[in-house]
Amino acid sequence: MASIQTCPANVLYVSYNGMLDPLGQSQVIPYLKELSKLGVQFTLLSYEREQAYGVEGEQRCRALDEELSQFGINWHRLRYHQRPSIPATTFDVVAGIRFASRLVKRDRIDWVHARAHIPAVIALALKRRFGTKMIFDVRGLMAEEYIDADHWQANSVAARMTKNMEARVLRATDAIVTLTDALWNAMREWPALNGRSVVHETIPCCIDQELFRYDPRARETRRVELGISDRFVLVYSGSIGGWYMTDEMAAFLAVLKQQRPDAFFLWLTTGPPKIVEDAMSKSQIGAADYAVRRISNREVSSFLSAADVGIAFYRPGISRLGTSPVKVSEYLSCGLPVVINSGIGDTDDLIERGKIGAVVKNFNDQDYSVAASAVLELAANSEATRQRVRGTAEKQFDLHSVGIERYARLYERVLAGGV
């Protein structure tokens, strides 16, 4: 692994996701802990949702604060505001710039690592005021994601403001992280970057392979708990609605049941169960053939172990170029072959080349049937498939050998001022 102990840096890491949120827990904290071991001194600024407040929330924050301090990470929190959308976000940005300015001066910050678009606006303001370097960690195409999910119109004020600010950030940033090669290949041709030399790394959503792995005992326990015995289980883990195509995933199960009548759909989500119930009803799937469970992060791996195949359908669009689904990394780490629609980041090539699942080109019964046949064949040779799928996860999405290694390499290059 790369080491940057010879060039310690003071880094302000800004995240619009809270550290009590699942993404903060899995996609921020593990990286900061490991990078701190390599000599980086982090000051962390996050925006926390309602769950961080009140008696229980404050207790969780104190515990996490103590945990982070053991790694030399100084954690600061601002309250996240959601509505009304533009005024609330503007308020958060202004508050962030003011608060972060004090941190830059107090902690002698060398550069700002901005996780996604909103923090990048804060980083840009700090760069202009203090001359700090900045890393734009692109977690997706913000405007395109909201447009694809029908939250914004393409010509709306919010979309135009976001694209304008994105271009300003790209013209100023010292380094860029993308989740996929597909997005970087497109972005590097954009006017704001064309002709610029900028440090870049593609770093997909990685996970701790020790936390996510197949557990045969958990498989047995969870199946007994769910009352599904030896049924064939399709699983979906994560958010529902918006750009997640709940109806189409339900329709896939209906086609899968034509080939495997005992197929069962396990939904692991914090979303409203009624969204799932309505989707299953549209595909004429009865309550005996699916279950919806709201579970904690630490339980996800054990429930995935109870399944045979993972699924993830996203609403198609240009925004999907930048998607590296955490759920897919988790499925693969637990040895599950994956069914996913085409055009999602780098997953087409990963799945087809590795023979670890099926890619659905079109949302129709014919394509569903082909994909169902493919994953049923993979599942029939479960042990060999599980090992091959797990091997792909270790090679492509390991927190340490992929995620931490690439971030360390990026930090070294930023420190050296090179490209």
Q: Are residues 233 and 322 in the same domain?
A: yes
The answer to whether position 2 is within a domain reads no
Distance CA 204, CA 252 (A): 27
Please name which of 238, 256, 241 lies closest in space to residue 309, comparing C-alpha atoms.
256
| Residue located via tokens 């996240």 | 80
Rounding to the nearest 10 degrees, give the CA dihedral for residues 116, 117, 123, 129.
180
How many domains are contained in the chain? 2
Q: Are residues 375 and 235 in the same domain?
A: yes
Q: Are residues 91 and 159 in the same domain?
A: yes
Q: Are residues 255 and 145 in the same domain?
A: no
Q: Are residues 110 and 160 in the same domain?
A: yes
Per residue in 131-187, pLDDT (tens digit) is 999 999 999 999 998 888 888 999 999 999 999 999 999 999 999 999 999 999 999
| Residue located via tokens 């914004």 | 152
Q: Looking at residue 9, what is its pLDDT?
A: 86
Please report, for residues 42, 363, 411, the alpha-carbon distance to residue 199 in angstroms, rounded to integers and kept in the order given: 20, 38, 9
The answer to whether position 244 is within a domain reads yes
CB 123 within 8 A of CB 16: no
- Indicate the SS3 state at residue 78: strand
The answer to whether position 70 is within a domain reads yes
Looking at 216-293, list the stretches that DSSP marks H as alpha helix, in order from N- to C-terminal side.
216-226, 246-259, 273-282
Q: Are residues 171 and 312 in the same domain?
A: no
The answer to whether position 1 is within a domain reads no
Half-sphere exposure of 137 (CA within 13 A, CB side): 22
- Contacts of 81-89 with C-beta under 8 Å, sequence gap 24+, read 85/158, 86/157, 86/158, 86/161, 89/118
In sign, the C-alpha dihedral spanning 204, 209, 214, 220 is negative
The answer to whether position 169 is within a domain reads yes
CATH number where 81 lies: 3.40.50.2000
Q: Starting at the edge strand that comes first in sequence, how are the strands of the sheet with 74-79 ordered?
A: 74-79, 40-48, 9-15, 111-115, 133-137, 175-178, 199-202
Q: Looking at residue 148, what is its pLDDT?
A: 85
| Residue located via tokens 């694809």 | 148
Q: Which domain holds residue 20?
A: 9-206+398-416
Q: Are residues 166 and 232 in the same domain?
A: no
Q: Are residues 367 and 406 in the same domain?
A: no
Q: Looking at residue 417, what is its pLDDT?
A: 77
The answer to whether position 4 is within a domain reads no
What radius of gyration, in Å, describes the C-alpha atoms of the chain? 22
DSSP 164-176: HHHHHHHHH-SEE
**Segments of the chain scoring below 50 in pLDDT:** 6
Q: Looking at residue 42, what is its pLDDT?
A: 97
Q: Are residues 139 and 267 in the same domain?
A: no
Residue 292 main-chain phi, psi, to 5 deg: -115, 125
Q: Are residues 127 and 25 in the same domain?
A: yes
* Helices 326-333/382-397 angle, 10° precision: 130
The answer to whether position 211 is within a domain reads no
Please name which of 25, 16, 79, 5 lies closest in space to residue 415, comparing C-alpha atoms.
5
Q: Are residues 93 and 154 in the same domain?
A: yes
pTM of the model: 0.91
Q: Are residues 98 and 234 in the same domain?
A: no
- Read off the tokens for 417: 């001022």
Looking at 294-381, list the stretches that DSSP marks H as alpha helix, in order from N- to C-terminal side.
300-305, 326-333, 347-354, 365-380
- Read off the tokens for 23: 């993404």
Q: Looking at residue 419, what is its pLDDT?
A: 52
- Read off the tokens for 194: 């064309």
The answer to whether position 377 is within a domain reads yes
